[in-house]
Amino acid sequence: MSTLAERVKLARDRLNLSQQDVADATGMSQPSYYKIEKGLTKRTTYINELAKVLETNVDWLMYGEGENTSKPSHDDLMQKIKDIEGRSGSGGENHPVPDGTTNARMSSGSGMVPILSWVAAGSWSNVEPVTFEDAIGEAPKPPNLSKLGFALRVQGQSMLPEFKPGEVIYVEPQTGFLALKDSDLVIVQCNDDKEATFKQLVLGETSDDMYLRPLNPNWPEQRMVPMGECSLVGKVVGKYVEY
């Protein structure tokens, strides 16, 4: 029976893609992807992203079961139509749509955006669209946020003093890894965590040098999970303070 490494390489070769192509499209670092093809990584949290980029099925990729090419379902086709409609109305130079992004209609048409739970934000990074039905509240929509943007309510004290618990932050999901800069504030979903997390991005000389850190200088853990183990949910572009 073939291994995950062999199946991933077979699917990549079928599409004539390089390792870097796949790594960029899935949001993982090239060294992290290399470890999968080398057989050093037996399981990966990027399996859904890999299946989508490699145009194959998760079951075949993980276990060698079923067909090795994906067939779009009715729901997939309807979602693609919505994606195209969403891009035509919310793109532009300020919010380029990265390859592999699944768009979800977030705007209610009333000048408000949904405030999501941190669990819902984490599921968004796994390409499971969220809408106003998933909202736990609403916040006024700022002009710099695309139609797919949403809000989160800050939890904990790791981002003090700039972000206090209970404050509302705005998240722009139409941002790819390559568009991020050093010190950007990001929402990510790491490893097998169900909830997303809010931290500052620190860039080094290579992708393996990336890490996350809190803004609170008194927070005990100042260097956190490597970005190669995380999925990008979006970039924080502002906050709304309620009094």
Can you read off the two tokens belonging to residue 96?
A: 């380029």
Q: Residue 160's pLDDT is what?
A: 94
pLDDT band at 224; cut points 50, 70, 90: confident
End-to-end CA distance of the chain: 61
CATH number (domain holding residue 175): 2.10.109.10
Residue 129 has pLDDT above 50, yes or no: no
| Contact in structure between 158 and 199 (CB atoms under 8 Å) | yes
CA dist 186 and 184 (Å) reads 6
pLDDT in tens, 184-196: 999 988 877 778 8
| pLDDT value for 83 | 54
Distances (CA, A) of 195 to 51, 121, 126, 174: 22, 7, 11, 19
Using CA atoms, how far apart are residues 4 and 42, in angstroms rounded to an integer? 7
Give yes or no: residues 11 and 117 share one domain: no
Is 219 part of any domain? yes
Look at residue 104 and tell me whether its pLDDT is greater than 80: no
55: left (phi over 0), alpha (psi -120 to 50) or beta: left
| Count of C-beta atoms within a 10 Å radius of residue 57 | 18
- Residue 153: which domain range? 87-240
* Amino acid (1-letter code) at residue 101: T
Residues 131 and 59 in one domain: no
Tens digits of residue pLDDT in 15-39:
888 888 888 888 888 888 888 988 8
Strand, coil or helix: what is 136?
strand
116, 58: one domain = no
Token couple for 126: 């796994």
Is residue 113 domain-shared with residue 201, that is, in the same domain? yes
The average pLDDT across 159-175 equals 91
Q: What is the CATH number of the domain that holds 20?
A: 1.10.260.40
**Residue 243 confidence (pLDDT) above 60:** yes
**pTM for the whole structure:** 0.55
Burial 200-212 (b: 16+ CB within 10 A, else e): bbbeeeebeebbb
CA atoms within 13 A on the CB side of 67: 5
Q: For residue 183, give both structure tokens.
A: 């010190």
Which residues make beta-bridge pairs with 114?
138
Average pLDDT, the chain: 78
85 SS3 class: helix
Q: Is residue 82 part of a domain?
A: no
51-93 pLDDT per residue, tens = 888 888 888 888 888 777 655 554 554 555 455 445 444 444 4
Q: Which of 127-141, 211-225, 227-241 has the highest mean pLDDT?
A: 211-225
- Tell me how far apart the alpha carbons of residues 70 and 166 are, in angstroms, rounded to a whole number: 43
Residue 109 belongs to a domain: yes
The answer as to whether 77 is a domain residue is no
